[in-house]
Amino acid sequence: MAIWPALNFTAHNWADVGKDGAAALAGVALISLGMGAIGHAFHYWMSRRNRGGFSVVCAVVAVGLFFGYSLIHDSAAALIARLGLTLAPSLGWLLVLVILSAVVILLRKHEGLQVAATVFCFSAAALALGQLIVTAMSAPTLRAQAPATGEDHLQRVQPNTAGLNVYYMLLDEYSGQAGLREFTDFDNSPFIGEMVRRGFIDATSIDPKDLLSNYLITQQTLASIFALDYTLTEDPQTWREPWRLFPYSVDGAQVPPLIREFESAGYSVWQTFNTWVGCSGRHMRCLGGHGSMDFDYMTMAFVAPTPLGRAAALWLGRRVDGLVAIATHLPILEASRQSRFVFVHSLVTHPPYFLGADCEPRDMSQLDFDAHKHDRKAYVGSVKCANRKVLELVDRISKIDPTAIIVVQGDHGSEFTVNWDQPISSWPDSSIRERGSFLNLIKAPPRCAPWLDRSLAQVNTARFVLGCVRGRSPQYLPQRTYLSSYTKIDGNYVIVPLDRQVAQRN
């Protein structure tokens, strides 16, 4: 009974389990072992009182209620809302607990119940194991390996102490002003105004207005930033090479072009830890944590449906966010004389929106991992919180480092109107406008201002930053937007250029 949820979880996330190896499942295994150990100790104790069979029934009910918490809670919330009552949804779970306990106690001497509990354990675990075996057999290749380059790393260069420091803050799922206004009815212009007063330029609305993101999926956008190029294109060969996706692109054997350029200029390159990718430390130094994310993240996802899930999500999600990491480590960075490029990836604006508008922890019973599909209020709250954190951070950085280049950027927009199951070819304009909308605020020294003469999406922003640091005119690429759904075919994303999609639709 204790290993059933772990088997099911592993089967469901087989592709992600492979990203960082089985070690990522250590937390899941520990929880299962702990539950099993408690169950066996309880069985031993009850057996001495001749109640061994009854303990099996208790174990089934306990594990079922533990992992069924979220399901029962959400069902109770829906029922309570439909009945127009004002009760806490957790009462529904308590009611189920009381009913099941009463049934178990009433039938405690019934041999059939003990046999049924044993049969349930073995059936459920066998079904989950079967699913895991089938999944593993059908997708045996997991780990994405970048092709070897024959060179381990760049030759060490003399540290640069006179370069412009760069803070590249990527706020996951932060829409642009137009997207926020159209799809959440939120006016973000006061924040943009505050940033403009601090010397930022809104780089999505110069020319053309309301530029769309280069990609619609985080893995693709972030990889393109580090590649300084469009890594996935209409060429199907690019879809089949997983090292073109983030975080493989920065954790693989090859040094990504952006990092190579900064290192060759004598910069130190840093990355903040977060619950999505962690920080491998292979090509970048880590801030706020080191290692594979997946221990924290997989454990968090595993316990998500349980009563501990929301607490774990709150604790882990807030503890390791990129904005928190950079704020904490700014004095350490400042103490270093070497010029630096710092990549900050924040999940504050990403579901389940841990923080409210005033950056207060949201009510644990309201956290919802599917909130990106419907909860506009929570999303707007997280945007307000991110605004507050960014303003504080920008003020701190500007005080100690007034010439720093600061980028505050989204990797794509929200997804309230996006139906991921719909083929890309039939996506309406509104879905593309929403998902493609992204924030892009850039602060750079006046000498780089002439190069901010057009709207920039992520790839060209990275090129701008590099050009500004080098003191050379950036080599901009033509602006492109590539569409893709999360639905993969043969394990790969399918990429459609925006202009082709529009032509097909018309």
Partner 1 sequence: MYLDPGTAGLLVQALFAAIAATLAFFRSARQYVALLFSRLMGRVRSLWRRPPNS
- Confirm or reject binding of residue 127 to partner 1 (CB under 8 A): yes
List the helix and strand counts (H, then E) for the chain: 20, 11
- Confirm or reject binding of residue 222 to partner 1 (CB under 8 A): no
Part in contact with partner 1 (CB under 8 A); list of ranges 93-101, 264-272, 301-309, 319-327: 301-309
Question: Closest CB to partner 1 among 202 and 415?
Answer: 415
Cβ contacts of 394 within 8 Å, gap of 6 or more: 195, 198, 406, 408, 443
Residues touching partner 1, count (CB under 8 A): 40
Cα–Cα separations (whole angstroms), residue 466 to 164, 258, 343, 400 = 10, 8, 13, 22
Q: Which residue reads 């491998």 in tokens?
A: 280
* Calpha distance 371→362 (Å, rounded): 13
Choose which of 18, 36, 52, 68 interacts with partner 1 (CB under 8 A): 68
Cα–Cα separations (whole angstroms), residue 392 to 57, 73, 118, 177, 317 = 54, 37, 57, 20, 20
Query: Using CB under 8 A, which residues numbered 171 to 190 contact partner 1?
Result: none
Question: Closest CB to partner 1 among 124 and 466?
Answer: 124
- Confirm or reject binding of residue 77 to partner 1 (CB under 8 A): no
- Confirm or reject binding of residue 295 to partner 1 (CB under 8 A): no
Q: Does residue 352 have a cis bond before it (omega within 30 degrees)?
A: yes
Strands 340-346 and 268-272: parallel
Choose which of 124, 228, 324, 456 interacts with partner 1 (CB under 8 A): 124
Q: Which residue reads 């003191």 in tokens?
A: 471
- Confirm or reject binding of residue 304 to partner 1 (CB under 8 A): yes
Part in contact with partner 1 (CB under 8 A); list of ranges 45-53, 61-69, 178-186, 251-259: 61-69
For the CB of residue 310, give the shortest distance to partner 1 in the complex, in Å.
12
- Confirm or reject binding of residue 247 to partner 1 (CB under 8 A): no
Part in contact with partner 1 (CB under 8 A); list of ranges 117-125, 263-271, 392-400, 476-484: 117-125
For 229-300, strand residue ranges (E) read: 268-272, 278-279, 285-287, 291-292
Choose which of 297, 341, 354, 427 interacts with partner 1 (CB under 8 A): 297
Q: Which residues pair with 286 in a beta bridge?
A: 271
> 173: which 2 tokens?
């799922």
For the CB of residue 106, give the shortest distance to partner 1 in the complex, in Å.
14
For the CB of residue 350, give the shortest distance to partner 1 in the complex, in Å.
8
Choose which of 70, 409, 431, 460 interacts with partner 1 (CB under 8 A): 70
Query: Using CB under 8 A, which residues numbered 411 to 470 contact partner 1?
Result: none
- Residue 334, class by beta-carbon neighbours within 10 Å (0-12 exposed, 13-18 middle, 19+ buried)? middle
For the CB of residue 173, give the shortest distance to partner 1 in the complex, in Å.
10
Choose which of 96, 113, 355, 383 interacts with partner 1 (CB under 8 A): 113
For the CB of residue 70, give the shortest distance to partner 1 in the complex, in Å.
6
| Cα angle value 92/98/104 (rounded, 5°) | 135
Part in contact with partner 1 (CB under 8 A); list of ranges 89-97, 107-115, 231-239, 454-462: 107-115
Choose which of 301, 342, 469, 483 interacts with partner 1 (CB under 8 A): 301
- Confirm or reject binding of residue 272 to partner 1 (CB under 8 A): no
For 150-247, strand residue ranges (E) read: 166-171, 201-202
* Calpha distance 374→41 (Å, rounded): 44
For the CB of residue 353, give the shortest distance to partner 1 in the complex, in Å.
12
Distance of alpha carbon 16 from its chain centroid, rounded?
Answer: 13
Q: Which of 214, 195, 191, 211 is nearest to 203 (CA)?
A: 211
Amino acid in position 332? I
Question: Closest CB to partner 1 among 113 and 324?
Answer: 113
Choose which of 35, 58, 117, 228 interacts with partner 1 (CB under 8 A): 117
Query: Using CB under 8 A, which residues numbered 348 to 377 contact partner 1?
Result: 351-352, 369
- Confirm or reject binding of residue 305 to partner 1 (CB under 8 A): yes
> 223: which 2 tokens?
């990889």
Contact by Cβ (8 Å): 271, 343? yes
* Calpha distance 226→263 (Å, rounded): 13
Query: Using CB under 8 A, which residues numbered 307 to 336 contact partner 1?
Result: 309
Q: What is the DSSP letter of 48?
A: T
Concatenate the DSSP letters of all residues of 287-321 into one string. Answer: ES--EETHHHHHHHHHTTTSTTHHHHHHHHHHHT-
For the CB of residue 158, give the shortest distance to partner 1 in the complex, in Å.
39
Choose which of 160, 188, 214, 218 interacts with partner 1 (CB under 8 A): 218
Q: Which residues bind partner 1 (CB under 8 A)?
A: 4-5, 8-9, 11-13, 16, 64, 67-68, 70-71, 112-113, 115-121, 123-124, 127-128, 131, 218-219, 276, 297-298, 301-302, 304-305, 309, 351-352, 369
